[in-house]
Structure 1
Amino acid sequence: MSEVVIKTRLNGPLLVTGPVKIIDHEGNVYDLTGKENVALCRCGQTKRRPFCDGTHKSCGWVAEDLVPPAPTTPAPPAPPAQ
């Protein structure tokens, strides 16, 4: 099975690549036949929920999400002076 990858887009949707199934709250499956990529709305203004329709470009929505930096490991304590 191929890996599913979800990428955040700068000030835009979630881009989902891979074999996914999207199901609504009543258990209905969206038809994604032939689609290798799906853009899911994050701004909440789309007219095609849950899919992105590009409205984020005109509604002023901003999202600059980045992966937080990995925690730094403290250096080991220096040996005692003799």
Structure 2
Amino acid sequence: MPNTPERPCRIRVQRDGPLLVEGPVEVVDENGEVTESARFAVAVCTCRRSRIFPWCDTSHRCRGKQPAEGGDAS
């Protein structure tokens, strides 16, 4: 559902994950570069590991993984 004055943009915050934003959206980075998406919803990267930044590619899933129990820690 598109954003309207009666229905503002919805952003869902996920712990250890991207921001889920109802689209279409326009993202402006710190250098002023504009990236647009016409999709009905997008995942915006917050960890900066994404290869397709500012969009999320699930690279955040690799963050903080611990070795399996009983495994060699060396």
Q: Shorter chain as normaliser: what TM range?
A: 0.5 to 0.7
Structure 2, unmatched stretches of 5+, are 66-74
5 Å matches for 1:27-66?
27=33, 29-33=34-38, 35-60=39-64
CA contact (8 A) 1:4 1:19 kept: no
Report the secondary structure of 1:57's partner residue: helix
Root-mean-square deviation (CA), in Å?
A: 2.1
Paired residue for 1:20? 25
Number of residue-to-residue matches in the alignment: 59
Question: How far 1:10 sits from its partner (Å)?
Answer: 2.3
Output the TM-score relative to the length of structure 2: 0.62
Structure 1, unmatched stretches of 5+, are 62-82
Identity %: 34
**Whole-angstrom distance in 1 between the partners of 2:15 and 2:32:** 31
**Whole-angstrom distance in 2 between the partners of 1:45 and 1:19:** 23
Greater strand share, structure number: 2
CA contact (8 A) 1:4 1:20 kept: no
Displaced runs of 4+ in structure 1, greater than 3 A?
A: none
Name the larger-Rg structure: 1
Question: How far 1:53 sits from its partner (Å)?
Answer: 0.5
Larger RCO (CA within 8 A; separation ≥ 6): 1
1:5-64 Cα shifts (integer Å, max 9, x gaps)? 11111210011114432234345x42312x111111111211111111000111228xxx
